[in-house]
A = this chain, B = another copy of it.
C-alpha cells in the first residue's frame, strides 16, 4: 500500500499491529476516525492510554482492576471462601456475565503447557496455594478449558492441595443447552453419560 501522507501511514501501521487486523481493515478504521470530530478521537486515544497506564492487577486474584483489590475481592456480599480458578481475564468476564456465580476468582494467567514452554512457575499457581493456606477457603472450583493443558493444570494443582481440607470441584462438562446429541463429539457424549446427574438436580438447574 502506498500512502500520500506519513501521518496516515503511521496510523494505519499502528492499527495493523493489533491481532487480527490487516492493512485494509486498519485503513478502514483510520478513515473512519478521520471522519469523526477531533474531540471524539482525542477521547479514543486518551482512554486507551489511560487504560494501559493506570490499570492494575488485583493482588489477591490477579484479575484486572482499577485498585489494588478488585471489585469482586472487595465485595463483602460475595462468598470470599469460594474460589473459581480460571485461565484468563476473559474467562472472568464470561462467568461474571452469567450473573450466576457469587464467589471469587483466581486468574492463573495461562495453563501448564510444556510444548509452549509454560510450566507451573510461570503461572499464578504458587500464589493460589498460599492464598488457600492463608484464607479459610471452603471450595475450589476449576473452570479451565477441557483439553490436555487444562486437565494437566487441574491435576497439578489438585496434587499440590492433597491433604488440605477443601472441597475441590470442576464445572460440569456435557452437551450444551440447545446442542444436538447427533452432532456432539464422542468424548463429550461419553462423559455426559458417565457423569450423569440426578434428575432433581437437572430440574433445579433449568428452573
Q: Which residues of A come within 8 Å of B, CB atoms?
A: 1-8, 10-11, 14, 17-21, 25, 27-34, 36, 38, 41-55, 63-66, 70-72, 88-90, 92-93, 96-97, 99
A18 & B45 in contact (Cβ 8 Å cutoff): no
In this complex, what residue of B is CB-closest to A40? B17
Interface SS majority for chain A: helix
Q: How far is the CA of A155 from the CA of B199 in the complex (A)?
A: 73
Contact with A5, one of B3, B29, B70 (Cβ below 8 angstroms): B70
In this complex, what residue of B is CB-closest to A21? B29
Given contacts A4-B72, A31-B88, A48-B48, 5 further A-B contacts (CB under 8 A): A1-B93, A11-B47, A14-B47, A19-B32, A33-B51
